[in-house]
């Protein structure tokens, strides 16, 4: 049974297989309407539970559409619907769901919820996002980069902003896909020290450069994310804006990187904060290709999990 819990806990060969499979499935759908079924129907007869403790647009829609295109059925549940971890333990919920469905995707806050779900479920579990990582997003990002530029191995990736959960998954990906990674952000928002130590132990080419203008030259990819979460208090928002104002990705910063650099953002974005509209809508931006590829990458992840 294959759980998909994190990039660094999945073998590089399996990650490569999923990326290649995602690309071939995307090509096979060219010219079709969105609801048209895939030629192959590997999820026919399968039920997939999609659990959301956190609100979602791309994760919810891409997983739901992906299951349907592959012939399966979805059951979309919120944490509130299920009283997840309140009226019943996570483990017992996992055991019960395993009697009803063939695959569980969960988007939650606490990493421990994901881990307990996977430990107790008797069907595969997919990490749709936690406060510590977002591996499905990074699979779409790797797919998108390679569509545009070829293999990401040996390329230079620069993250500008907050060392958050999406950055953590980029750090995991640097190990598995063998690219160099630079973090450019304030010390107060440095990435998780355990993840950094692990990356360095594994030989990842990882650096911290506080000055974004010194970090971006000759980058192949620049990545940003929101400065604030929807759950942050106003005081936290103000503090983060003050810390991160110097790290906005704008036309001047992209020019310093060079014409070869792509720009990515997992969305939703706050236009005019972490990135300007001119960059988001500019020729180096691949943010909407990246969003679309969530669908194709996750279809490949689900097929790998189920062995279909």
From the candidates 46, 141, 225, 284, give the one annotated as an active-site residue. Answer: 225
Give yes or no: 134 in active site. yes
From the candidates 3, 8, 107, 240, give the one annotated as an active-site residue. Answer: 107
The span from the first CA to the last CA of the chain, in angstroms, equals 12
From the candidates 8, 46, 265, 294, give the one annotated as an active-site residue. Answer: 294
Which segments of the chain does DSSP mark as H helices, in order? 12-28, 58-69, 79-82, 90-100, 111-120, 135-149, 165-177, 193-201, 212-215, 234-244, 251-257, 277-280, 287-306
Closest C-alpha to 276, from 261, 265, 260, 266: 265
From the candidates 102, 132, 248, 266, give the one annotated as an active-site residue. Answer: 266
Give yes or no: 232 in active site. no
From the candidates 46, 58, 132, 134, give the one annotated as an active-site residue. Answer: 134
Token look-up 């620049």 returns 222
Give yes or no: 271 in active site. no
CA separation for the pair 137, 36 (Å, rounded): 24
Give yes or no: 39 in active site. no
| Token representation of residue 156 | 């230079």
From the candidates 137, 176, 284, 298, give the one annotated as an active-site residue. Answer: 137
The sign one gets for the Cα dihedral 53, 122, 301, 39 is: negative
CA separation for the pair 17, 236 (Å, rounded): 41
CA separation for the pair 76, 50 (Å, rounded): 5
Active site residues: 107, 134, 137, 225, 266, 294
């Amino acid at each position: 049974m294959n759980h998909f819990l994190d990039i660094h806990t999945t073998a590089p060969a399996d990650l490569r297989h999923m990326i290649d499979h995602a690309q071939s499935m995307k090509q096979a759908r060219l010219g079709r309407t969105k609801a048209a079924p895939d030629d192959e129907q590997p999820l026919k007869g399968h039920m997939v539970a999609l659990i959301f403790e956190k609100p979602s647009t791309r994760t919810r829609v891409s997983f739901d559409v992906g299951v349907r295109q592959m012939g399966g059925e979805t059951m979309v549940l919120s944490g509130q619907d299920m009283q997840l971890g309140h009226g019943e333990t996570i483990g017992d919920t996992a055991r019960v769901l395993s009697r009803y469905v063939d695959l569980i995707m969960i988007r939650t806050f606490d990493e421990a919820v994901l881990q307990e779900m996977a430990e107790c479920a008797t069907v595969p579990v997919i990490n749709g996002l936690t406060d510590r990582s977002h591996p499905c997003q990074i699979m779409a990002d790797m797919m998108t980069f390679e569509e545009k530029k070829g293999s990401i191995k040996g390329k230079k990736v620069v993250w500008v902003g907050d060392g958050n959960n999406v950055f953590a998954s980029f750090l995991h990906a640097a190990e598995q896909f063998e690219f160099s990674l630079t973090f450019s952000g304030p010390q107060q928002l440095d990435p998780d020290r355990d993840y950094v130590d692990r990356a360095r132990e594994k030989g990842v080419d990882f650096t911290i450069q506080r000055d974004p203008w010194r970090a971006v030259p000759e980058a192949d990819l620049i990545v940003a994310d929101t400065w604030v979460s929807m759950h942050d208090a106003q005081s936290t928002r103000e503090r983060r804006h003050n810390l991160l104002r110097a790290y906005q990705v704008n036309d001047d910063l992209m020019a310093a990187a060079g014409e070869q650099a792509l720009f990515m953002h997992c969305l939703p974005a706050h236009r005019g904060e972490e990135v300007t509209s001119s960059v988001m809508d500019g020729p180096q931006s691949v943010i909407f290709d990246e969003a679309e590829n969530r669908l194709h990458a996750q279809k490949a992840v689900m097929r790998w999990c189920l062995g279909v």
